Each structure stands twice: as structure tokens, then as C-alpha cells.
Structure 1
Amino acid sequence: MTTTSNTVNLRHLNIELTEVIGKGNFTIAYKVTRDRKVFAAKIYYYFYANYEWLKIRYQQLYTIKHPNILNSHGSEKLPGKVIAVFMEYADGGSLHNYIHGSGKYTRNNAYDWMIQLAKVCPILKYMPVMRYSHIIHILQGLAYLHGLKPSPICHGNLKPENLFLTENYSCLKIGDLASGVEFISNCYTPPEACLNRPRDFCTISLDLIHTYILESNKGCYTEKYDIYGFGVILWEVLTRRRPVFKNICELLTCLPNDVGSSNVKSLIARCSQDDPHRRPMMKDVVGDLLQIRNGVVTYTQESKATEEKPIFKALKEYPDLKLGEVMGQGSFGAVYKATLRGAQVAVKRYFFNNTQGNQGIEREVRYLSRVNHENIIKLYGTMVDEEGKTLVVMEYADCGSLHNYLYDNGEQKPNYIYTLALKWMHQLAKGIAYLHAMKPRSVIHRDLKPHNLLLTNGYRTLKIADFGTVTELATVMTSNVGTASYMAPEVVCSKVYTEKSDVFSFGIVLWEVLARKRPFYHLQNREPFAILYQIGIGKHPILEDVKNYPNVKLLRYVIRSCWIIEPKERPTMELLASCLADC
């Protein structure tokens, strides 16, 4: 028997096996009692498990005490050539039985479970108080295991059958830590597992399987191995469907629209990448899920995401990308509606094909592909087509641009309600605040206008587009990026462009949506240079056109503060988001 000073002494226990609570390929789990205390006992058949191997495998587990990991209490050889391992009993049963049974839970519960599965990572002390309780529990436990010193522990067999519920189904705990990698492929097993498995695996005798599992830990068995399974489990708890699919695209296609935002789909896709190097680190998954769950943005030095390679490489490697109709065209390129592997995407094709421009765009997209906010269009990656033109693949917004919604055939279409207008502007402020807070360097949009603001979810959700390449294009193509009516005075005068320049543009957009008029409509000469001259001398749209609203004085004050000539005196986007939340 193996025990430590802080474990139960099992040598003198009067063990009573009461009921079978689970079965594996070579194990049976029992509910056991002793002195009215309940434990779980996992029985390993002797022809499968070498006791010395199990003892080594469990040695580190005995010292682990974590609220989201089943505690191990000891092990013992039992009559009948079997080995018993004793551990904490989970009264709620497995996550698998709960989500595929009659148990009731909300999406909030699902998120909390998953974050519990991965946490105790330093990033979490800087995050908001948690509200959802299930996806979160998974993250808590995995991050703890992956961060153990000197020897991190990777689970290797992560699936709902090995995750357990307690405390009236509110707390999730990771179990089956000692069994090692799954030797039978399933939907939770990443592709690299098959590559590292010996060709004659099926002929390996049962008494050697444990040796193979132990040795396999030294190869492909890494943090990224567990992250693949985590992505599949996230999909499973949100859909309550069994993950039977051929590839990740099929999995995402089966994800109902009401399950969550495109950010959730993006996270699942990144976790389930075939290439383990493209999967995120667990600490970044924690941050993404907390942002998705809370709808807030919190950035610290500790929450920096690792820079990822673009998801897509070259167009010739993805012949199933099909460009459709042109949805819009700007100074630098055209935007197409497209499909890739059956999924709807948007593709921006840039007109230039010089090396400097292509490298600049790729560099920006690589940095910005980690942006994860419900009000920002997700960038997936870059490609170069046969003509040498750069393509940027991004999230598709099915309701078009805010500009097209505001104007019908060039005419004003003021058929939206005040509360919807404020909701759009609050979402816009949150998204820009997120970009301005990015580390190690902030992102300045430079071209905020209704054309670059897209609508989804039945016109209720606003997403910022065209933010990803404007910084590089500013140096590659021209010194001034932007549209005349929305340019800040310091940009017109060729001074330094800062986050406060976006604040000025935001004020123009806010005025336009509330006044229901085009900016500078009152000027007799509305040529771009005439408008730029007016902005340069401190003129702006007519503030009094914002009227007949509740809190109209506050709204005018907010707009006026955005138009202050001195950039440093303008409010931050974070402050503006807070003000609009109270309007």
C-alpha cells in the first residue's frame, strides 16, 4: 500500500464495496464506505496495471489538493490480482451522464464548469468576479496541473466521462489523472496522438499497454494535447450533443447560432486546430472564456496572449475558398462574401501587390488575430492569391454595414428607435476601448465611420471592422488614413495620430446616429477638402440637431467632449463606454 503523512491509512480500513459507479476498458470504479465515510475505489486488473508503475504515477497526485481535482487517498493490492486506488467520491456523478441525461443547466453553468476545468493560473487574480460556474471549473484544474513544478501533469484522457460533479452539480472536478493518454482514438484525441502511436498497436498484449502509455507521455503528451480535448468538451456542454464528427468545420457547423457568439466558435476552432502549435495556451483560453462570459474587457501584463500564426497560409493550399459577390469597396481593396469549407466568411482583397504591403498586412493580422471581443470582427488569417494580392479572411456579418442601415439608396432612413441607437454606440465604445487597451501596443482604428461598422444578430449587435490593417497601411500607402467628415483636427493638420483621434471620430458617429443626418450636411460646399478645412479651424456638425431624447443634455455633453480641439482633453473610450451605459 502507498500512503503519505496526509493521506488516509488504508491498510486498516474495513472496506465495503457498495455499488459500481463506472466502468473503463480495464477498470471498474466502486462507491465504497468505511466508518460512514464515502470514497471511490478504482480497481485496476492485475494483467493490465503494473503496481510499481501505478505507484510512480500516483506519487505526485497524493500531494495535490485542489478544489477542482478529485483527491487521491492511497492505493493497495487486493486479493484476486487487482490493484485498488482510493479517491474522493463525487456525488453528482460524471459530467457525461449529466449533460446527456435529464439534468438541467444554463449556459452560465456550462461556462463556469469549463473555466473550473482550467484555472489556478496567475491571470485569474486580475479577472472579474466569476458569475458562470461550469466551463470555468475545467480551466481552473487544468491550468493548475499544467503549472506544477518541477513536473507538470497533462491529463491525456480528457473527456466528460472523466470529469465529475459535486456540491449540487455546481462544482466540477477532474478525475482519472493516472491512466495516461487514451490509446483508443476518439473525438477528444488530437491528431498527433495517432501519429505517435505504433502501427502494430492493436497487437500489443494487454500486459504491455501500461508501458506504452507511460512512454507516450514523453512525446506528444503536452499541454496542447489537453487543449484539443477541452475545445471538443466546450462544444459538447454548450450543445448537449455527442461529438460525432469528421473534422472541426463539421463541429462548428453543428453549433446552433443561439449557443453563443462568433467568439465562442472562434475559441473552439482555435483549441481544435490540427497543428498543436496553433492551439492557444491554457492561460489565454481562461482569459478568452472570462471575457465571453462576462462581456467585459480586462487587460494586464499577465494576460498577454501568445502571438499566433495566421490560421490560413496560402490560397493554393485551400482551393475550397470560393469568393462570391462584392459587398463593398474602399481605397485599398474590395470585400467579398465567401465560403471556406462550408463556412460563411468575408474576404478583403487588397489592390496592391508589393512585398512591403503584403508583409505589413500579414504582420498586423498575426498580431490582431488574438483579438477576442463580441463587438469586433474576428480576423482569421491572410493568404496571397495567384496575382500576388493579399487576402484577409475574417468573420462575416450577415446584416451589412451600419451605413447601409442608416441610408437607403442614399436617402436617410430614420426608422430605428432611440434605445437601439444607444445600444449600438455603447457597443462601439466598448470595442474601441478594447483595441486601445491592447498590450504590448494599442490599436488605433484611424477610420471610424458607419461604413466600417457592421451589424449582426438581427441588427442588434454592432461589430467594428477594418481595424486590422490601418496602422500598417498608414505607413505603406499614405500619411493620412480616414474619411474627411470623421477626421480629427490634428489629423487634418498632419500632427501625431493617437487614441484620442478615434475619440473625435466616435463623436461624429454618435452625432450622426442620434441626429439622423449626414455629418456637415449644412455646408453649402461638401467637397472633402472643404470639410477638412472646416474641421481644421474647429468647426463641427450642428450639436443642436441632437434633440427630443431623454438625457439630451448629457448626450450633447458627451458629444461635445469628443470634439475638444486639444486631443489630451478628450475623454477616453473607456470613460465614454461607462457614460453611455448610464444614458
Structure 2
Amino acid sequence: MDKIVTSVSSNEIQIRERIGYGSYGVVHKALWQTELEVITIAVKIIEDKSQDSETEKIRFEKNILREIENLQKCTHPNIITLYGVSKYSDNICLLFEYADCGSLYKFLHRTKREVSMDERIDWMLQCAKMQLRGITDFCTAIWKNKKIVVHKIKDYFEEDEKSFFKEIRNLKRLNHSNIITLYGASKYPDNRLCVLSEFADCDSLYDCIHDDDFKISYYQILRWMLQCAKALKYLHTKKIVHRSLSSRNLLLFDKYRVLKISNIYQVKKFRSVPDPYLAPEYWDTNGKFTEKGNIFSFAIIFLEVMTRKKPFELYRLMEIFSVAHNLKNDDLLDLIHMEINESDTIMQIIKKCLNRNPENRPTMKRIVSFLGCDYRFRINVDHADLGFTTFTDSTCETLCTALWRRSESNGLVKHDFDTDLITTKVALKEIDCNKKMIWEIMREVPKILGLAHENIATLYGVSLNYLNKICMVVEYAKCRTLYHLLHCRKYKRILFREKLNWIQQCAKGLEYLHGKNIIHRGLTTRSLLLFDNCRKLKIADFGKMNEVEKIRTDLMCCYLAPEVCMGKKNYSEKSDVFSFGIIFWEVIQREKPFSDWDLHDISEHIKRGIRPDIYNLINDDYSGIVPIMECCWRQSSTDRPTMSEVRRDLNYSIKRYDHQSNCCIS
């Protein structure tokens, strides 16, 4: 016992009567004379091991040292306090807080006092809090110039240390956007193990959903749970089962937009599982964790997030244990006080995940596939945050402007006390089409949200209005469209150099889209927005959404390439080049293309090779731009240049005309 350091002098202790037996020795009541007062304590006198073998004495001393270290680290209202270590007749003794009411065992079996059921459950709840408190604590640290989290393992067996480091090495190889990054493991100077992981710049999911100051959109909940499902699917493909899946172990990043699963290291002796999330079969299989158990936990978290209620919050922890063995398929929903909407596909998949028989639960792969096909998981703007102002009805679409009050996380997660909410004027475009086409559009939305170019209009997100119609939330153009400027404001003089500047910006934006493998499909002067007092041009309304506008075809027919006019919707980058050539002519001439023809005949004329009249452009002033137009609207798509080639030729022509900045054509 030479390694055990005493912290209290034996002269300060007066040993009194024996009150019981504890592990490693006898417990006495005692008085401790401190500097301020005399307090009653319990003293555990460690039994003499001098007769044991040297190996047994070393093992015994290590166990005592471990108990002292663990107790000194504990600060919990339901764990007895260790005041210090002293000596009594050459024996080590531990000084504990004195229990004036004795042990629970004596109270239950040696007193005649009546104890209510509420008191008994309350005792066990306090005991459970002590047990479920966790086996790690954590702190932040700086490692390699970045902020990280250090999880300290409190209790472990030395023989498990090797397997622990081996598991961490394997987990470091995981690579998924919704799984926390593990940097490695280490040991503290006090020999405690620790895990180094990625720092979460936001709260845990548990903290977020159970804080009334947070206002969370329904669609953000769906996005979080889809990310969680994708991460679990990835873990299961790697044959990894999460042993502590709960909302506390789901961390939020990037202004609450990204969810990541944490605490996936899983050596059994290290884990402590939040019981409300455990699958019923856990109690029948001696604590065995399975993939289907993760699916049950996923469903409990899903309901927890949707209802913003803690799992089984109307029941005490001990009551959950008692019902877990006897649950039927629908009993859980009754316990959670959650009604299933039979027409809601999301609630139906949750119900399947809660099936009492684990074999009847879907796999994580199937869940991800199912959730990924529901376009509601792509919604990222809450319609309730949009304050409508003015409507603009046209023959091709329904547009309106709105004031969008949002936080930096795009309005899906807000605080009641936020004072820096951003109010942005936006334009809304309502899309009316069948579910199949909606899904085609929604699949393209993530790619469009990732675009960043000065000549591409910003898509803020997608909303679902009160009629369950999809609305695209896009950047608002104060100067309206290029079509409006060219044809509705005839009084405004436009310099020739201004026209070339718009065409040049359109070419740059279209080249960027093609570089991202995005085809516009509906390029017209109506889809070219103007900003900054008409100096800046941005392309809008690109992608699959243009295929659903049936009425719009009448207004687009002037810009459609011959192969598209054939009725086969052969959209390609070269069909966008054709539309660009028509727009080029329209801007320079400031006339509507084919304005003298009947709309129903335009497609036939284009298929026969007829193009807008360039008679007025055949002179020296336009000698550099006419060939570009003619190349763009060639009959065969294979003969047309790429947008990169068009922009190169256009830049050369603009340099030639820079000296004519005072020349204008009205």
C-alpha cells in the first residue's frame, strides 16, 4: 500500500462504532476534526493483506488505487462523496460522507415504515441517473491548429486497452459526410484513455429539439433524419452497429444544416446506453446490439424530433423497463402518445421500424431509398417564413415577390431571441406538375443550390405552399428581365456596347452551367434577369423545371432548336447554343424573333432552316458578330460551336468594338 498517498492525518480522526461491512474492509462511524468544525463521517478500514502472496497484494493494491481515483473524479448528487484517505493502525482507510439514514437494504428489511410506490420509483430513478450518467466526460482542445473534442474514458479494464486502440484505428478509416471524424486515441498522464474527434460548432440534436427557444421547420427535421439514415446505412455496410444511438449522440454542424453521428466507438465494457432508445429484444438477448436494434432506435429518435418530446416522457424510467418485455406492435405508439396518420408515408415507415419483431423491420438501405424518394426531404424553406407582397401573373407562369425572414441557416432553425434575422426580398415561382416530374426537379435542386457564379441567379431553396405545390425561392431582380427592358421600355436608349455586355455575361453564365453538366432547356430573354441598374445580367429558370411548362412552349418556340421542335425533347448543350444565337439577334435588333409569323408556324419554319432576318446587320459595323449568330443557329447540332468557343469569339469581337462606345442603336 506504499503507493497510496494519504491526505488526512490519523490524529484528526476519532473512530467510533462499527456500522457495517464494505468491499475491501469494515466500515465505522467516526468524527473528523477539520479546521472549521467536527463532522460525522464513515470510515472504511481496508483489511490487512500481509498474509497474501505478493501477486495478490499487487492486484489488491491496484484495485484500491483504481477505486480511489474513480471516486475522486465523481461529482454527482447520487454518488457518495470521498473526502480523503488516511491511516488507522497501519491500515489504509477511506473517509466517506456519512449516511444518517443508513443503507437502502436496512431501510427496506429492518424497518416497518410504509413506503409508497412513488418513493420506491423515485429511489430507483436516482439510482438509474447514477448508472446512466455515462462513461466519458469531454473537453475541447487545440490539436494541429484546429479545435477538437477530447472524450475521456472514465472506467475501463486494462485488458481491453489493446482492443480499444485497434477499434479506433479501424474507425478512423470511416469517411462519410454525416459521421463525426475520429482523429485518433491517446492516454492522459493519469493513464485515462481519451478519444480525439471533430468539434461540433452547433448543439447536439437533443439540445436543439428540447430547447423551446429554437424554432425548427418541419422540413429541417426531415433533412436531419435523412442524413442520420444515410450515416447508419454506411455504418451497417461496414458491419458496424452503433451501441449508443440517441439524439444526444447526433451532433449539428454548419449553422444547423448538417447532422453527424458521434460516439461510434463500441468496446462493450466502455459503452453506456440511454435505455429509452433500446429495442425491446435487447432485454431478451442479454444486451446484444444488432442492426435492427439501430433501426428501432432511429424510429424513436424520429418521433422524438417530430414531437419534440423526450421518449416516454410521461413514464418513469423504471416503468419503461417493465413494459419493454410485453410490447406489441402498436403499443409503443400508445406509450409515446403519437397517432399514426395512415395516409402519411413517413409515419408508416416509422411504424414499420417500431415493429416488435426485429425481422419485420426494414433495413437501413431500404429506409434511405424510401425517404430519398419523398420530395419533402428536399424542402429547405419554410413557407410560413415568407411574407407575400405583390403578384405577377403572366401567360407562362405564376410569380410573386415575398419578404423572407430567415436566419443564417436559411430560416429552418431559428431562436426566439434572434435579433439578427435577415429579411430578404425574393421571387417565388410556383410549379404545377405531377409527382413524377416534381421528383425530377427536386433531384436537380441540390446541384443548383451548389452553383456560385456572378451571372447565375441564386436559388435560395424550395418551399411547399399551403396547396402542396412546389415553389422555387429565387433571387429577386429589381430591374426585372431583359425581355421587359428590350420590348416594354422602348423609350430607353440602349448603347450598342451595353447590348454586347449583356450578351457577353449571358455567354459566361451559360458556359458555367454547361461546365456543371446543367442544360438550361428554356433559354429566352424572359429568363435573363437584370440587376444593379441593368448593368448586371444573371441567368435564371434553368434545368428540369422548364420541361413542365406546357403553356410556356408557345413563348419559347422562337428559341427552340430544330431537334427540340421535332417533339422528342432532345435537349442538349447545343440546343442551348441555338437559343443563345436567337437571343443574340433579339438583343442587337431589339425586336421579337419571328414576330410577323403565326406562333403555330414558327416551329415548322425553324425545322426547315428559316432564321430571323439579318439583312439590317450586313455592314461593316456588325461584321464580327453576324458569323457568331449564324454559327449558333446552324441546323445540325453537331455543326454548332460550344459555349466556350462562342465566348472566345465574342470576347475578340467586343475588343474590336470598344472604341465605338458612343455608338448606339435604338
Calculate the TM-score normalised by the size of structure 1. Answer: 0.45
Calculate the TM-score normalised by the size of structure 2. Answer: 0.40
Q: Give the structure with higher Rg (CA).
A: 2
